[in-house]
């Protein structure tokens, strides 16, 4: 196991109706002037926003609101949020929504105390040195942003999707009420599940030897997702299955299952160009890319893919030909994604094979290579897009 530090100071508050206590949690964590940051009208229509406001009022907390976060959140709204926070002397950001809403709030949080352009931190590795505290009320189990220090934002000019991360961006508290996810349409539910599974797979494929504990923990999350996701696709109101998926989504991405091992986030990076260009859902893009990436890099460590096939997908080990087991595991992953309504190739995602050179160009690797499991060149990435374009069951 490699050297690591692990720090996850977020207070997680899990259960029905917990959002009604958000005012006291904001207070406990030092907030007195709050920006409520939310996404679509559904938070208004469902009455959630009203419950949040009521709880803040009961705690005597001043607030202003900023809605309109889109999937693949944009820099433009973040500039607007930074301006409002400065004008209103906001000292706490409360994000009410899914991952997009939370990562947008993180962008505002790091931008407010920073003199320059908040975008300086994205895709550059520039370390965050100061940020407003944030809290979250999660409405979509997917991104894991409620427990992570990561943020991904799209710059409207050129539709560039870039990320940043810092322990300072980890929420002070996150309220997880699985019932809030019950209104989510099946497609978005499946996108979220795919994202959670991808977060685990990006950690699972590693070159670090002898990492049994984190291997097993990764497998635990994936087995849970495989059991529970089809249940909520069939019946969106299954609270218990929603609850399992919600906690799985958090644990998948606060890095407790990924510490001490090399990770490989190329599938996320390769996908970002798809959702950046076509504005498709991140999870849907991952469903197309991740199995393609697996097929392309499989020969780097066939036994690890065979392990995935046996332990996660329940394949019989083919001892004479481990590669056959490995391939079967990848194909079962694809079949699973199809079964929950995810696209599995470019056509189903409404992406175009002829755009591959544009996607590779936007990825911006040039002559370089990237990857923690298998280092990929621009040509490799083009090849993965081509596999993804033509995948079938």
Residue 186 is a binding residue for a copy of itself (CB under 8 A) = no
- We find the least distance from the C-beta atom of residue 12 to a copy of itself, in angstroms, to be 4
Residue 227 is a binding residue for a copy of itself (CB under 8 A) = yes
- We find the least distance from the C-beta atom of residue 140 to a copy of itself, in angstroms, to be 17
| Backbone dihedral region for residue 388 (phi beyond 0: left; psi -120 to 50: alpha; all else: beta) | alpha
Residue 12 is a binding residue for a copy of itself (CB under 8 A) = yes
Q: Which residue number, 103 or 141, has a Cβ lying nearer to a copy of itself? A: 141
- We find the least distance from the C-beta atom of residue 145 to a copy of itself, in angstroms, to be 17
DSSP category for residue 46 = T
Q: Which of residues 230-269 bind a copy of itself (CB under 8 A)?
A: 240-241, 243-244, 247-248, 251, 256, 259-260
Residue 6 is a binding residue for a copy of itself (CB under 8 A) = yes
Q: Which two tokens stand for residue 125?
A: 């590795």
Residue 8 is a binding residue for a copy of itself (CB under 8 A) = yes
Among 159, 220, 302, 347, binds a copy of itself (CB under 8 A): 220
Q: Can you tell me the distance from the alpha carbon of 282 to that of 268, in angstroms, rounded to the nearest whole number?
A: 9
Q: Which two tokens stand for residue 166?
A: 């810092």
Q: CB-based contacts of 67: which residues, under 8 Å, 6+ apart?
A: 37, 38, 39, 40, 41, 43, 44
- We find the least distance from the C-beta atom of residue 305 to a copy of itself, in angstroms, to be 19
Q: Which two tokens stand for residue 48?
A: 């959630």
**How many CA atoms, within 13 angstroms, populate the side-chain half-sphere of residue 213?**
9
Q: Which two tokens stand for residue 232?
A: 């909520």
74 beta partners: 154
Q: Which of residues 284-343 bind a copy of itself (CB under 8 A)?
A: none
Q: Which two tokens stand for residue 20?
A: 């009604």
How many residues sit in the footprint of a copy of itself (CB under 8 A)? 43
CB 192 within 8 A of CB 148: no
CB 189 within 8 A of CB 181: yes
- We find the least distance from the C-beta atom of residue 194 to a copy of itself, in angstroms, to be 17
Q: Which residue number, 21 or 76, has a Cβ lying nearer to a copy of itself? A: 21
Q: Which of residues 196-215 bind a copy of itself (CB under 8 A)?
A: 209-214
Q: Which residue number, 7 or 369, has a Cβ lying nearer to a copy of itself? A: 7
- We find the least distance from the C-beta atom of residue 200 to a copy of itself, in angstroms, to be 12
Residue 365 buriedness (CB in 10 A; 0-12 / 13-18 / 19+): middle
C-alpha distances out from residue 206 to 119, 223, 245, Å: 30, 19, 24
- We find the least distance from the C-beta atom of residue 176 to a copy of itself, in angstroms, to be 10
Residue 141 is a binding residue for a copy of itself (CB under 8 A) = no
Max CA separation in the chain (angstroms): 68
- We find the least distance from the C-beta atom of residue 26 to a copy of itself, in angstroms, to be 15
Residue 232 buriedness (CB in 10 A; 0-12 / 13-18 / 19+): buried
From 6-14, 137-145, 329-337, 343-351, give the range in contact with a copy of itself by CB under 8 A.
6-14
Residue 179 is a binding residue for a copy of itself (CB under 8 A) = no
Residue 134 is a binding residue for a copy of itself (CB under 8 A) = no
Q: Can you tell me the distance from the alpha carbon of 64 to that of 80, in angstroms, rounded to the nearest whole number?
A: 13
Residues in contact with a copy of itself by CB under 8 A are 1-16, 18, 178, 209-214, 216-217, 219-221, 223-224, 227-228, 240-241, 243-244, 247-248, 251, 256, 259-260
């Amino acid at each position: 196991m490699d050297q690591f530090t692990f720090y996850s100071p977020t207070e997680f508050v899990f259960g029905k109706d917990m959002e009604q206590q958000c005012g006291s949690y904001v207070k406990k964590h030092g907030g007195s002037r709050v920006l409520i940051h939310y996404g679509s009208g559904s938070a208004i229509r469902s009455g959630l926003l009203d419950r949040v406001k009521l709880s803040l009022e009961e705690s005597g907390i001043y607030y202003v609101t900023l809605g309109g976060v889109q999937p693949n959140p944009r820099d433009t709204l973040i500039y607007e949020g930074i301006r409002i926070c400065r004008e209103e002397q906001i000292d706490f950001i409360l994000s009410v929504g899914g991952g997009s809403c939370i990562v947008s709030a993180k962008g505002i949080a790091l931008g407010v105390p920073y003199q320059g352009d908040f975008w300086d931190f994205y895709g550059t590795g520039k370390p965050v040195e100061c940020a407003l505290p944030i809290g979250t009320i999660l409405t979509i189990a997917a991104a894991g942003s409620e427990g992570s220090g990561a943020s991904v934002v799209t710059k409207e000019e050129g539709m560039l999707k870039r990320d940043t991360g810092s322990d300072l961006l980890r929420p002070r508290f996150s309220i997880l009420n699985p019932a809030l996810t019950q209104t989510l349409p099946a497609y978005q539910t499946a996108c979220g599940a795919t994202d959670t599974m991808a977060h685990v797979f990006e950690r699972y494929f590693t070159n670090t030897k002898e990492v049994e504990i984190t291997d097993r923990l990764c497998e635990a999350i994936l087995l849970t997702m495989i059991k529970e996701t089809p249940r909520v696709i069939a019946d969106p109101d299954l609270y218990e299955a929603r609850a399992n998926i919600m906690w799985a989504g958090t644990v998948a991405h606060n890095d407790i299952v990924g510490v001490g091992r090399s990770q490989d986030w190329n599938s996320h990076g390769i996908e970002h160009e798809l959702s950046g260009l076509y504005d498709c859902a991140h999870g849907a893009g991952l469903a197309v890319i991740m199995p393609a990436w697996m097929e392309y890099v499989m020969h780097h460590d066939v036994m690890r893919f065979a392990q995935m096939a046996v332990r996660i997908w329940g394949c019989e080990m083919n001892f004479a030909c481990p590669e056959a087991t490995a391939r079967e595991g990848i194909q079962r992953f694809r079949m699973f994604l199809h079964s929950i309504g995810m696209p599995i190739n470019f056509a189903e995602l409404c992406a175009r094979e002829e755009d591959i050179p544009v996607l590779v160009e936007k990825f911006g690797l040039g002559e370089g290579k990237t990857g923690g499991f298998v280092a990929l060149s621009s040509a490799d990435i083009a090849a993965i897009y081509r596999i993804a374009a033509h995948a079938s069951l």
